[in-house]
């Protein structure tokens, strides 16, 4: 486990050093202020653009396929919950994540695992057209099944995947919630989705770590409102969420 967290932290150092070198290399016509403004504009267009490739927990080019699938699945899980909570507008960007041009780095190598892009494209079209829930629900179920198939076919060490997801929850929740208020609904919702995926992954664990991890993950998921991670929710304190993710990791390592 320690090695995994060391890796995650080291990725953050690499990103920080790279960013510093980029600023040093700016010419007079490309000031750091202009670069910053451009980043703000990009994030306004896509709430996830600032976190898709450079976060400590999920540099997509460096991640093995099973972790990329877990990350993608977290977005889908958030979208499913939001749609079923009656917020299709909030659900849309999460359900579009697997086929978004912005997030194409995640899709490298997953077609061979059974990824079906047209399932998510159909969901996108249905949401745009405002179709009835009775018509959209089967599409959502198909998307859910496709993610489950990808997770199964991607394989990987389940304990490492869950540990990765806990680091990602910590990162994204701290972005989404500040001073007791939701400041970035997308990241608040993503953290929920990653927690759900981690819980489902734990149900596939064998041995004594499984039940303990499941209990802690059920408690983690319960830190979001029962009706779904809606943007107008009252959030749980960041310290409580990070405390619970630490308990999950502890439960995973208890039998090692």
pLDDT, tens only, 25-37: 444 344 433 433 3
Percentage, residues of the chain above pLDDT 70: 76
Q: Is the dihedral of CA 199, 249, 169, 53 positive or negative?
A: negative
For 164, the enclosing helix (H) or strand (E) is helix 158-176
- Cα separation of 64 and 52, whole Å? 15
**What DSSP string describes 133-159?**
HHHHHHHHHHHHHHHHHHHHHH---HH
* DSSP-assigned letter for residue 40: H
pLDDT band at 255 (very low <50, low <70, confident <90, very high): low
Calpha distance 8→169 (Å, rounded): 13
The pLDDT value given to residue 256: 52
- Residue 122: closest CA among 106, 102, 103, 137: 137
Confidence class for position 125, pLDDT limits 50, 70, 90: confident
pLDDT of residue 71: 96
Asked if residue 58 has pLDDT above 80, the reply is no
Per the CB < 8 A criterion, the answer to whether 245 and 166 are in contact is yes
Could you tell me which residue, 48 or 7, shows the higher pLDDT? 48
Say yes or no to pLDDT of 90 above 90: yes
b vs e for 143-171, b when ≥16 Cβ sit within 10 Å of the residue's Cβ?
A: bbebbeebbeebebebbbbbbbbbbbbbb
Q: For 157-178, write each residue's pLDDT tens digit.
A: 999 999 999 999 999 999 999 9
Residue 141 CA to residue 185 CA, distance in Å, equals 24
Structural element, H or E, at residue 211: helix 209-221
Residue written as tokens 């500040």? 178
């Amino acid at each position: 486990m320690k090695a995994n967290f060391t890796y995650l932290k080291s990725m953050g150092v690499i990103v920080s050093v790279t960013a510093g070198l980029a600023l040093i290399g700016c010419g007079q016509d490309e000031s750091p202020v202009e670069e910053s403004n451009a980043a703000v504009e990009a994030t306004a267009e896509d709430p996830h653009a600032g976190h898709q490739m450079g976060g400590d927990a999920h540099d997509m080019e460096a991640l093995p396929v099973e972790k990329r699938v877990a990350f993608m699945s977290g977005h889908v899980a958030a979208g499913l919950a939001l749609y079923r909570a009656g917020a299709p507008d909030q659900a849309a960007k999460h359900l579009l994540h697997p086929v978004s041009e912005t997030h194409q780095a995640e899709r490298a190598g997953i077609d061979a695992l059974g990824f079906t892009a047209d399932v998510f494209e159909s969901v996108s079209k249905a949401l745009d057209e405002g179709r009835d829930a009775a018509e959209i629900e089967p599409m959502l179920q198909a998307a859910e099944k496709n993610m489950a198939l990808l997770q199964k076919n991607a394989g990987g060490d389940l304990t490492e995947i869950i540990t990765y997801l806990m680091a990602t929850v910590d990162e994204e929740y701290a972005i989404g919630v500040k001073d007791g208020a939701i400041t970035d609904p997308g990241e608040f919702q993503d953290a929920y989705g990653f927690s759900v995926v981690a819980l489902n992954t734990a149900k596939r664990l064998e041995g004594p770590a499984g039940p303990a991890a499941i209990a802690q993950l059920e408690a983690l998921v319960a830190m979001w409102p029962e009706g779904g991670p809606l943007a107008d929710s009252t959030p749980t304190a960041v310290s409580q969420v990070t405390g619970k993710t630490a308990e999950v990791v502890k439960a995973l390592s208890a039998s090692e």
